Chain A
Amino acid sequence: KAGVTQTPRYLIKTRGQQVTLSCSPISGHRSVSWYQQTPGQGLQFLFEYFSETQRNKGNFPGRFSGRQFSNSRSEMNVSTLELGDSALYLCASTREQGAYGYTFGSGTRLTVV
């Protein structure tokens, strides 16, 4: 059974650029959530999508956005990158709504220079 797949694994971008990260959930999982992990702030919730609808959004600026497609795959976009956006971005999926039994991907390591 394939796990949650995040691409790319590593990314280096320049300040001011934008970036798109991709997440393919486990087959049959319809809920996809995104988290940012940094040494200083730990794991912080970005947003959750269920059946192509954003259900919840964390306390992040509008530069962070996302979407979910009909096949449950999700993308997140960060525009006008700042140095502080350097982090590990994690995607988690689950079958139903909610954070019960999340399966996390291995993440995308974004470095902004």
Chain B
Amino acid sequence: QQQVKQSPQSLIVQKGGISIINCAYENTAFDYFPWYQQFPGKGPALLIAIRPDVSEKKEGRFTISFNKSAKQFSLHIMDSQPGDSATYFCAALDNNAGNMLTFGGGTRLMVKP
């Protein structure tokens, strides 16, 4: 079964700090890697996404770093704020195998004021 492994399961960061969440995948056919943010009672919301031909993508305080050879990618949240406290999911898509995302297990982030 295709898998995306996400770590850590939970993370506590001080306000202003950097939050780092890591994901690893096995299927080299994956060609799209999005990150989603989910608040309680809401559905996941797309934060930022990357394709494997790019090693880094930055949008505001959010950066994806992608290491194709290691089959790993990570989300960095700079200047973390209490409002960033949420659950974050990485995901991956193999477009040739069907239009479905394979999600990581999620990371519950708490940013302390």
Interface residues of A (CB under 8 A from B): 4, 31, 33, 35, 42-45, 48, 50, 55-56, 58-59, 90, 92, 97-107
Contact = CB atoms under 8 A, between A and B. Distances in A.
Contact of A56 (B34, B42, B98): B98
Among B95, B100, B105, the most chain A Cβ lie within 10 Å of the Cβ of B100
A33 B99 contact: yes
Interface of B: 1, 32, 34, 36, 41-46, 49, 89, 91, 93, 95, 98-106
Given A43-B103, A45-B101, A103-B46, 15 more contacts: A33-B99, A42-B106, A43-B44, A43-B91, A44-B103, A48-B100, A55-B99, A97-B99, A99-B93, A99-B100, A101-B49, A102-B34, A105-B43, A106-B41, A107-B42
Contacts of A4: 43
